[in-house]
């Protein structure tokens, strides 16, 4: 375990990054440098650092039909927590008397933990018309 001085030194000397996820619809193909690019044709999802991608987007405004940029931190040197095992840890704390755990993913995910194809348009978000599945499920798990 690091002490406070070691943590301060680590943050002070570590490379700062602003990771972004960009949903983009191109008019013409673009080059994204060292970023990871997923998708074919004009619609892509791009993962990279804003320091590199910001200027690329600014220089190619006329070649972009639409885009949405997501980021969860700026100029950060601290890696984000890997959340894949967090739900299982939280579930272990539940005693069903004072601490409750309801896994809503069981009604919308397949065996690998991915959203079922018929419920999503991008494998990440539920279709708006499918939220009633969650609502109905939660009504059966109500705590009285």
Q: How far is residue 60's CA from residue 103's CA, in Å, rounded to a whole number?
A: 43
Q: How many CB atoms sit inside 10 A of residue 44's CB?
A: 19
Question: Do 28 and 50 reside in the same domain of the chain?
Answer: yes
Per the prediction, the chain carries an average pLDDT of 86
Q: How far is residue 135's CA from residue 108's CA, in Å, rounded to a whole number?
A: 12
- pLDDT confidence of residue 106: 83
* Each residue's pLDDT tens digit, 5-54: 888 888 888 888 888 999 999 999 999 999 999 999 999 999 999 999 99
Question: Do 58 and 89 reside in the same domain of the chain?
Answer: no
CATH of the domain at 29: 3.30.70.250
Q: How many CB atoms sit inside 10 A of residue 125's CB?
A: 11
Q: Minimum mean pLDDT among 49-58, 71-80, 112-121: which range?
A: 71-80
How many domains, the chain? 2
3 state DSSP class of 9: helix
Domain carrying residue 93: 83-140
Residue 84, pLDDT above cutoff 70? no
Q: What tokens does 126 get?
A: 């539920």
Say what the alpha-carbon torsion angle 44, 49, 55, 59 is, to the nearest 10 degrees: -10
Per-residue pLDDT band at 115 (split at 50, 70, 90): confident
């Amino acid at each position: 375990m690091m002490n406070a001085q070691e943590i301060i030194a680590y943050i002070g000397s570590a490379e700062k990054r602003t990771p972004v996820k960009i949903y983009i619809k191109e008019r013409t193909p673009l080059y994204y440098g060292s970023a990871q690019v997923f998708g074919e044709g004009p619609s892509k999802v791009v993962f990279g650092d804003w320091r590199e991608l910001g200027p690329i987007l600014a220089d190619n405004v006329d070649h972009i039909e639409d885009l949405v940029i997501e980021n969860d931190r700026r100029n950060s040197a601290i890696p984000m927590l890997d959340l894949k095992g967090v739900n299982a840890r939280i579930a272990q704390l539940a005693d069903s008397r004072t601490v409750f755990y309801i896994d809503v993913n069981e009604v919308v995910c397949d065996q690998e933990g991915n959203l079922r194809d018929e419920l999503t348009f991008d494998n990440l978000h539920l279709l708006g018309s499918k939220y009633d599945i969650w609502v109905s499920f939660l009504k059966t798990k109500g705590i009285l």
